[in-house]
Every structure is written in C-alpha cells, then in structure tokens.
Amino acid sequence: MKVGIDRIEFSTPNRYLDLVDLAHARGADPNKYLIGIGQRKMAVPTLSQDIVAMGANAAEGMFGGLDDKEKASIGLLIVATESGVDQSKASALFVHDLLGLPSSMRAIEIKEACYGGTAGLQLAADFVRAHPGTKALVIAADIARYGLNAGGEVTQGAGAVAMLVAENPHILALEERSVVRSRSTDDFWRPNYSAEAFAKGKYSEQVYLEMFAEDWREAESLGLTQVSGLQALLFHIPFSKMGRKGLRTLESVIPVSDYERLTARFEKGIMYGQEVGNLYTASLYLSLISLLERDESLCAGDRIGLFSYGSGSVAELFFGILQTGYRDRLNRTGHEALLAARQRLSIDEYESIFSASLVTDGSQQDIEDGDPAALHALIRMEGHERFYR
C-alpha cells in the first residue's frame, strides 16, 4: 500500500525582522548573517500567534480542498512541537476544536526537539498502514526563541506546516525503509522554567553532522542511497548553513554530477526557510514545500531523501517518491503572496513584541490581535485558561 503526504500547507506570522537590520543593531557584519549563517529574515510572532493558532491556520489552508467524507476519515491528529502551551493538555486538542474535527479520533502532542515533526509523520504513516481507509493529520508548529542579544538570536523564527497523510497520496509516497538513531546529548534544550532555549551551537552542529554521517553510512550499507537515482536531498534547517554543511560532507564521496544536482535542488529547498527562519519541527517540511514549489525540473517518480535531526538527539534519513499530479496540490502563488505581504518590523518593534508575555497569575488578559485576517488566534487568557478565535 502506498502511504504518504497527500496535502501540505504552511502558515507563518505576518511580521518579520530583516536580518540586516538585526546585524546593524547588534554590531555584526550583515554578511555574517546573510552568508555565514545563510538567513535573510525571521518571522516574529505576537502573543496571539502561538503554536496552536499557527498550526490550525496551516491546516485551514488545506481544508478548503477536503470534503466532509475526507475530514471524517481523519483518525489521528498529531501536533509536534517544542513550544507547547501546556504541560498536560495536548495542543492537538485545541487544534482539534478549532478545526471542527470528528470526536471519534486520537489527538495527541509529540515532543523530540526538531525531530518531532518526523516522529509524527512516521507514526501517522504507520497508523494509516494499520487502518486502511483512514487519514492522519500531522502539524509541526514552533516558535524558535533564544532571547534578545543571545548567540542564537539570528536563528529565531516561527511558523507551522500541516500535512495530511493518506493512502495513495498525491504528493509524496514515503518509503517504509529508513535509518534512524537516538543518542542522549545536551546540545540544545529548554528547561520547563525557561521561555528561551539554550544551545551549545557548535557542539550541536557537530552532533548533527556526526549523526547525518552515521545515518548515511547505514543507509548506504542497506542500499538506500544510490545517488544517481536521488533527485534531491533535503535537510533539517535551523539555519541554511547547517543543512549546507550536511550536504557538503558528501562532496568528496559522491560523483560530481550528483553533488551538483543535489546542491542545485538544495538551494531551492532553502528559499522559504531563509525568509522565515527556524521553525524547529517544521523546518524540514517547509524545505520540502520550498523545493516542490520553487523547482521547475522535478517530475513525478523522482526520489527525494530527507534528513531529520532533533537535538537531544534523534536523527532519521528517509525517502519518498514524488507522485503524479503533485504540482496541482501546491500553492506557490499563495505562499509567495503570503511572504511578500508581511510587515517589516523596526528593531524597537521587534524587541517590544519579543518582550511581551502572557499573564501567569490567572487574571484576565485580552490579547492584541496580531493578524485579524487569520482564522485562528489566541484572544484571551483567563483563570489560567487559553481562549482562541
């Protein structure tokens, strides 16, 4: 049975910070951010644009194309995030309510740093294989926060990707064989008491590259990496330079023509991420959308590799085959318009939005609406509860 991504959509806040402005404000050379880190802009969410709102808005983007029967066949909703809004209640339940999904289904949240989206996708694929006729909705949604003036400030961002997983998918059929490894590391983490993440940036790069090399070697030994048949190789992209470093490790080990093809496609795959920044769980899948929408030369039947990395750490290399008619399921014009319509923030505006916080004493807080045009937003806190539009 072919199972994979049948629909895919993303949402991102309607405001951004230009990283040249950030470089000037922090006394850095803009080329460090633009070339050294490889990013151009980062999305800046307001309090109303939390992961529940962004996740639901991403899914709404595909729901216009779903009939009632398809909606009723969704048996599993997974929200993957490392920016959860509650220690107990799954953010998937807020999303489930906002989307008006059937009650006869499972709705859960998954966490393993930036790997969570892939954990969700693979579990969803297994669920669909085990329950023929059902579908699963996977939402990867995150807000990357390191702090004003922090080392990782330039690698912040926000957004969500929603994927509908189904039999006979219209976009990407997932191969069942993949390679995956887990190992406890302390390269990046966010303690329960902290609103900002901590990262040992250089160590994290090292673990990412080590685990990619281990995955690649194992995949090679299993015969999964015949590069002449691999049309693209996507990477988890906390910032584009990280994925580029991963790809470069193959430069001396695969034929030049294959390396050039993978590099050209890698460039298409980082275009959207360079505009919104790190989406943690959703970064790899935003890269997939970017590749599929910005590359004109891929065809149905082409094989794509995807390397997923989550600090802490889990790393999986998996593969998929593009399906006939996949372009009809994409929304390049809409996504380009979404990115182009965003408001550019000044540094003062960015710092003010970044510093705003939700009440923690149970009092009522009406949240300023960051984007009245969006279907879903966090609108109020009251009695420690969250209320959404």
The set of catalytic residues is 82, 114, 236
State the Rg of the chain over Cα: 20
Instruction: Give dist(CA 123, CA 119) in Å, integer.
Output: 6
**Structure tokens given for 230:** 């691999």
> Which residues between 62 and 121 bind ligand COA (CB under 6 A)?
114
Among 151, 325, 334, 362, binds ligand COA (CB under 6 A): 151
Shortest Å, Cβ 309 to ligand COA: 6
331 assigned binding-site residue: no
Beta bridge partners of 167: 3
2 assigned binding-site residue: no
> Which residues between 309 and 328 bind ligand COA (CB under 6 A)?
309, 311
Of the pair 205, 351, the CB lying nearest ligand COA is at 205
Strands 303-310 and 230-235: parallel
Shortest Å, Cβ 208 to ligand COA: 5
146 assigned binding-site residue: yes
Q: Is 35 in the site for ligand COA (CB under 6 A)?
A: yes
Of the pair 70, 196, the CB lying nearest ligand COA is at 196
55 assigned binding-site residue: no
**Residue whose Cβ sits closest to ligand COA:** 36
Instruction: Identify whether the C-beta of residue 189 lies closer than 8 Å to the C-beta of residue 236.
Output: no
Q: Which stretch binds ligand COA (CB under 6 A): 57-65, 129-137, 163-171, 237-245?
A: 237-245
Of the pair 26, 131, the CB lying nearest ligand COA is at 26
Q: Is 239 in the site for ligand COA (CB under 6 A)?
A: yes
Per-residue contact track with ligand COA, 167 to 206, x per CB under 6 A?
---------------------x----------x-xx-x--
Q: Is 155 in the site for ligand COA (CB under 6 A)?
A: yes
Among 16, 63, 208, 272, binds ligand COA (CB under 6 A): 208
Q: Is 154 in the site for ligand COA (CB under 6 A)?
A: yes
29 assigned binding-site residue: yes
Shortest Å, Cβ 150 to ligand COA: 8
Among 32, 89, 183, 344, binds ligand COA (CB under 6 A): 32
Of the pair 19, 137, the CB lying nearest ligand COA is at 19
**Structure tokens given for 125:** 């694929």
Of the pair 109, 142, the CB lying nearest ligand COA is at 142
Instruction: Give dist(CA 120, CA 146) in Å, integer.
Output: 25
Of the pair 152, 305, the CB lying nearest ligand COA is at 152
Shortest Å, Cβ 34 to ligand COA: 8
| Chain residues in the site for ligand COA (CB under 6 A) | 29, 31-32, 35-37, 114, 151-152, 154-155, 188, 199, 201-202, 204, 208, 238-239, 241, 309, 311
